[in-house]
Chains A and B, each alone.
Chain A
Amino acid sequence: MLRSHPSREGRPVALTDSGPIRWALTIAALTFLTLFLFVPLAAVFSQAMEQGWRLYWAAITEPDALAAIKLTALTAIVVLPLNVLFGIAAAWAITRAEFRGKQALITLIDLPFAVSPVISGLIFVLLFGAQGFLGPWLAGHDLKIIFAIPGIWLATLFVTAPFVARELIPLMQEQGAEEELAAVGLGASGWQTFWRITLPKIKWGLLYGAILLNARAIGEFGAVSVVSGHVRGETNTAPLHVEILYNEYSFSAAFAVASVLAMLALVTLAAKSLVEWRSQRVA
């Protein structure tokens, strides 16, 4: 079953592990992945189906569940284009110009990844909450951000801001700007250069970043939990709905909604692999 890795030069026998070692290491690695990945994933679907199809269907089509799924979809639709545009703008500015402090700016873009999700929600409560810096002004104008949908969008924008930029920056750095310079030299406008030269070159990297961004926007829990207020049917996203059902001991219903999110995660992984495969073929 196990073959040695056929390396570029055909790896010499002395550089391959002996049969028993290969078997032992492969089994150890797969056992680890089984205990931590495959069994929990299987458990989601098994628990979701425990009470049968009818209750499964009822759990994901009851009004509160549908409202939660709709809010999650709406959040992704709002957040995705904004952070894709930000990622492209940031990558263009960083890779197509020379300036001091470039490395600091790249670190700043990555900052949201270093911040705990709970704190990512907290910062918006401090700004816009009832006791927050802008709270009295918002209340005076009858505007609600925290414990309302705009807060969910803001927190999700924050946690997903780096995804596209961090895919595009190394890619565009490697590709260089010569083709763009040639196009501009031939009289192309900035937009023409971007649409005809840059976009075709970065489309797979862009798509890759957008897929990961989308998955995180759908699944974000901690940050959204702080700002949402958990009003069923109104400010509940799908992951928050899973928590509410679970805490009410409606385990099958919780796992039913969770299984929808797990299927989306599997679609994400499939799309990601496809993009990786396509971009490698192009390169």
Chain B
Amino acid sequence: MSNPRSPLPGVRLTMGITLLYLSLLVLIPLAGVFIKTTSLTWAQFWATVTTPRALASYRLTVWAAGIAAIINGVFGLLVAWVLVRYHFPGRRFVDAMVDLPFAMPTAVAGIALTAVYSGNGWIGQWLEPLGLKVAFTPLGVVTALTFIGLPFVVRTVQPVLQDLDAEVEEAAVSLGANRWQTFSRVILPSILPALLTGFALAFARALGEYGSVIFISGNLPMRTEITTLLIMTKLEQFDYAGATAIASVMLVASFALLLTINLLQGWTRRRQNQPA
């Protein structure tokens, strides 16, 4: 990083505070994960992160986070569309409530979803006769991850939909496009970068989620145990090296996703700044 240049005072001081704070609180502690991992030999590391139990947890975590992000992609777009394009009583209230998963503690969400979706719960009692068991199955994991990822797609798509130029749609209609053609050929391509960004944000958040899932999942090894819970279990057994090895796998995956999201956000910004 080059020396900061500015005609304003305080830049050196604030830059110093920022770098010191980030180093002590974020960088050094995170580096500890990789340093601790090197206390294992490569063979030990590989054996730890590829046990059948660990592999089952990755499969469940990636699968459930993916399904939840797809659900949020479809319904998040729908909610954003309805909030931007239609007026109905209570619209502002609904708009504000979309952020509930950001404001509500994950443990509260976890026990609430478990109560609602268990066999005798308000919604679970109607699903069970249909053969759909949600609580204490992989479906429960999907349900919790859908809840915590819900605001991301709505909040990334909403502003883009709001700024969409009506003239482009008018042009499509005047050229003879019907409503569906206008949506799929004109509107969807312009909101696609935002939609994908929201999808990736929801997916990334879901991969690392812990609090909302552990109540509803049942936590059976090999079946309903997510990777963060496996890390927690190893910590409780004082297997710090094992927990850290699996954590380092997760960290690498998270950083790769962060990079993807940054690229997607750059794409969204360039799209938005293009003259329509």
A52-60, A117-125, A199-207: which one contacts chain B?
A117-125
Contact B8 A180 (CB under 8 A): yes
B84 interface neighbour in A5, A47, A100, A105, Cβ under 8 Å: A5
Count CB-based A-B contacts (< 8 Å): 316
The number of chain A residues with a CB under 8 A from chain B is 112
Contact A265 B103 (CB under 8 A): yes
Q: Which residue among B85, B106, B179, B244 has the maximum number of chain A CB atoms within 10 Å of its CB?
A: B85
**Interface: B46 (CB within 8 A):** no
**Interface: B267 (CB within 8 A):** no
Contact B9 A268 (CB under 8 A): no
For A13-33 the 0/1 string (1 means CB < 8 A from B) is: 011111001100110111011
CA A90 to CA B238, docked complex, whole Å? 37
Contact residue range for chain B? 35 or more
- The B interface, classified by DSSP as helix, strand, loop or mixed, is helix
**Interface: A143 (CB within 8 A):** no
A262 interface neighbour in B30, B104, B146, B207, Cβ under 8 Å: B104
Contact A89 B18 (CB under 8 A): yes
CA A129 to CA B36, docked complex, whole Å? 13
CA A192 to CA B114, docked complex, whole Å? 53
Could you list which residues of chain A lie within 8 angstroms of chain B, going by C-beta atoms? 1-9, 11-12, 14-18, 21-22, 25-26, 28-30, 32-33, 35-41, 43-44, 47, 85-86, 88-90, 92-94, 96-101, 104-105, 107-112, 114-119, 122-127, 129, 131, 133, 154, 157-158, 161, 177, 180-181, 184, 189-190, 193-194, 212, 215, 218-222, 225-226, 238-240, 242-243, 246, 251, 254-255, 258, 261-262, 265-266, 268-270, 272-273
Could you list which residues of chain B lie within 8 angstroms of chain A, going by C-beta atoms? 1-11, 13-15, 17-18, 21-22, 25-30, 32-33, 35-36, 75, 78-79, 81-89, 92, 94, 96-109, 111-113, 115-116, 121-123, 143, 146-147, 150, 166, 169-170, 173, 179, 182, 204, 207-211, 215, 228, 231-232, 235, 238, 240, 243-244, 247, 250-251, 254-255, 257-258, 262
